[in-house]
Structure 1
Amino acid sequence: MRFLVLNRTPVAQCRYPEFLGEGHDVVLITDAAAVPADADERTAVLRGYAHVEIVEEFHANPAVELLALRLHEKWAFERLLALSESDLSRGARLRAAMGVPGHSAAGVDAFRDKYAMKSALWEAGVPLLPFAAVRHATDLADFIAEHGWPVVVKPRRGGGPEGVEVLHTPDDLPAFLARHPEAGTDDGALLLAETYLEHQPFHVDGVLVDGGIRLVRPSAPAAAGIPRDAPGTPLEPHDPLSGDLCALAVAALRALPAPRDCVFHAEVFRGGDGLLVLNGISAGARDGSEEAVPEPGFGLRLAELHLRSLTGNSPAPVPARPLRTAGPALLPSRPYW
């Protein structure tokens, strides 16, 4: 089979030719930041690919799509892989243009557009914070009038904390709207408002294989001072919270048009009253950290399990329970005097 891979993960960690197995042509378009700077190391990690294109400006670069289409003319790809949540929409557009199967643009939009996602989840009864689409200043004013302060405003698309703002008082509004002049146009802005909740965050990561849950694992994010993309601390299976977190993530996944095979990631908030609400879910891997998240407990990488399962290339068995408990630690430097 001929695969096109869109990649932004360090290629030394996500070894597509090895994970997909022999008998496949794997063509790679990768972010330059994902390959080693050393020439010898670069040659070693790129061995096994049928063809490689390294792109300096990878994120949101429309030239990547033109490059993919040009390569398709030569290779006639049968599958396109884009594991990162930041590449899901790009991958869906290219599948449609190439006529290859996989997660459709409509299916991806149900995950990538936060308002569309939360609307579907609300209809399915998944617990959420109150939310509303914000196109104009009047939409935001109406939401605040109903729900009060503080209010969280975030882009409808995108992931992570980028663009997320908490408005605490009316004094915060003028500066916020000045940063979003599109809210004053006829087309309006693409923003989402939510009520603010003091919370403890949790992550739930896993893998879908042929429509079934192959692996699911909740974790608490790394503590303050540890890099954001570091793996969190997996919860113990006997912790009642572990089962509740997994059940909530799976319910959200079932309420949306998820592909039959994917890596997924959910973020859940636990309020001071102990109640859980879903903040969001993605049918893609967390940028930069998806390989490491389950590895401390299960000894498996999400991406590897997903890719080996796609081609039946000896996917590793998933243990019934984690093999160990592990997590990151921050060790301050020792002062010398």
Structure 2
Amino acid sequence: MNYLILNRSPLTTRPYREWIGEGHRIVLVTDAARALSADDGVRTEQLAAFEETVVLVDYHDSVAVEREALRLHAEFGFDEIIALSEFDLLRAARLRDLLGLRGQNEESAIAFRDKLVMKDLLREAGVPLAPYAPAADATSLIRFTQEHGFPIVVKPRRGGGSMGIEILHDEDELWNYATRTTQLGTDDGAPLLVEAHVEHELFHIDGLVVDGHIQLIWPSTQGTTTCLGMLDGHMLHSTMLDADDPRLDDLRKLTTTALETLPTPTTTIFHAEIFGTPDGLVFNEIASRMAGGRIEEQIRLGFGVHLPELYIRALAGNTLAEIPEQPLRTGGLALFPPRPGLLRAVPGECSIPGVTGLKVAAQAGTRLGTAHTSVENFASALVVGASRAEAVRTIEELRVWIEAETVIEPLPPSDFEV
């Protein structure tokens, strides 16, 4: 078999050759900045695993990816295109359709990437959703508030990482937002969605489908923390639900309904979000890819299996490791976003029982700005416990320790890096 891989992730975390196996030709088109080691020796070793490699500096939004993929297909005749990143799903799907290859097609990718298309399909199937509408222009926002009031949530239809999401509480904030968002005043309009804001606890449900059958599906909760709170400088945490949690079955059933409603690929990773509201569960969205923000590691910590590895092994027809029916232990994570200022002191080695995988992404002396995405952080860690309650206690102890160990010196607003 001949495989083309479109890659943005560090190759240290994506040993594609090992996962696919020997006896295949594997070609890589990859982002230069994110994927490759700065060490020349390590970089050479990373690229040696592939039949041919194309390293692109302008990978993110350049048609060079498509151009190179077509050139390479003429030489290798690909049987499969593999893409793990959310921002490569449509790109890979369109290439598959053009080349007549199996795998997720454009219709499926759009249903999972475009929140308006997704919600329209889910609504037709009776999945509970917050009120929503397309928001191509300012009058659409006004009309929506006349029907549903404030606050409202405005978000890109094909965004990710909570980028570009804003909560508007009144008409002044609406007009301020519309003034800043110039596409709302154009004939073509803005690719935005507006929703009624609902008070909620956010659950994320992660898992794997292989050959049309769900092999893993498990909910976690972010408790009182939110993705948008990260953008305001507040910690985000997540912990897996216990096997006897009364919310478990309903969350899994609602996620399964969404997967059955949408044109789900026969083999895929998925990441769903569901709001727990005072009036019951409300579905938010679902993606056909691995979640960010160290959720990949959280699932691995709890179940002992690695979802991207299982997914690619399944695509290559390899035997998969046995997947437990429920977590072997409770996995959790905590992300600490940057706050504007000069970072004077950072956390050192953590000795709190149950804390593992502490990462500090910034050095003392770094000028910090605000987070631009819900996964951007200066420090993060995984936690493990025998139960969710134990994991939550560990996260709280970790939060207190991180705050005590971290010193961020305020700077004049003109000096902030945002």
TM-score (norm 2): 0.75
Q: Partner amino acid for 1:257?
A: P
With 223-232 and 141-150 compared, the bigger mean Cα shift is at: 223-232
Q: Which residue of 2 aligns with 1:88?
A: 89
| Structure 2 stretches lacking a partner, 5+ long | 333-381, 383-394, 407-418
Cα offset, 1:232, TM superposition = 3.3
Would you say the 8 A contact 1:290–1:302 is kept in 2?
A: no
Structure 2 vs 1, CA of residues 288 and 47 (structure 1 numbering), >3 Å: closer, same or farther?
farther
What is the rounded CA distance, in whole Å, between the counterparts of 2:149 and 2:8 in structure 1?
Answer: 40
Inter-CA distance 62–179: structure 2 relative to 1 (3 Å threshold): farther
**Separation in structure 2 between the aligned mates of residue 229 and residue 259 of structure 1, nearest angstrom:** 34
Can you list the C-alpha shifts for 1:118-164, whole angstroms capped at 9, x where unaligned? 01101111111000111222211111000000111111112221111
**SS at structure 1 position matched to 2:70:** helix
In the alignment, does 2:307 pair up with 1:306?
no
Aligned-partner residue type, residue 261 of structure 1: T
Q: Residues 40-55 of structure 1: matches in 2 within 5 Å?
A: 40-55=41-56
Aligned twin of 2:374 = none
Q: Which has the higher contact order (CA 8 A, sep 6+)?
A: 1
The one-letter amino acid paired with 1:220 is T
Displacement of 1:48: 2.2
Alpha-carbon shift at residue 318 of structure 1 (Å): 0.5
Q: Which runs of 5+ in 1 are unaligned?
A: none
The offset of 1:266, in angstroms, is 0.6
Amino acid in structure 2 at the alignment position of 1:2: N
CA 1:6–1:229 in 2, change beyond 3 Å: closer, same or farther? Answer: farther
Report deviation, 1:182.
2.1
Number of residue pairs the alignment of both structures matches:
335
* Higher mean displacement: 29-38 or 325-334: 325-334
Identity among equivalent pairs (%): 44
Q: Name the counterpart of 1:4.
A: 4
- 1:103 maps to which residue? 104
| Aligned match of 1:70 | 71
Match of 2:327 in 1: 322
Say which is worse superposed, 241-250 or 257-266, in terms of deviation: 241-250
Which position in structure 1 is the counterpart of 2:352? none
For residue 206 of structure 1, report the CA deviation from its aligned partner: 0.7
Deviation (angstroms), 1:335: 5.8
- The CA deviation at 1:27 is 0.9
**Equivalent residue for 2:402, pick from 323, 327, 332:** 332
RMSD of aligned Cα (Å) = 2.4
Q: Distance in 2 between matches of 1:160 and 1:74?
A: 36
- The equivalent of 1:28 in structure 2 is 28
State the shift of 1:263 in Å.
0.8
Contact 1:205/1:293 (8 A) holds in 2? no
Tell me, yes or no, if structure 1 residue 19 matches structure 2 residue 19: yes
| Equivalent position amino acid for 1:177 in 2 | A
AA aligned opposite 1:217: W
Contact 1:84-1:286 within 8 A present in 2 as well:
no
Residue 229 of structure 1 contacts residue 289 of structure 1 at CA under 8 Å; is this kept in 2? Answer: no
Deviation per CA, 1:10-56: give whole Å up to 9, x if none: 21112111111121111111222122211222233334221222222
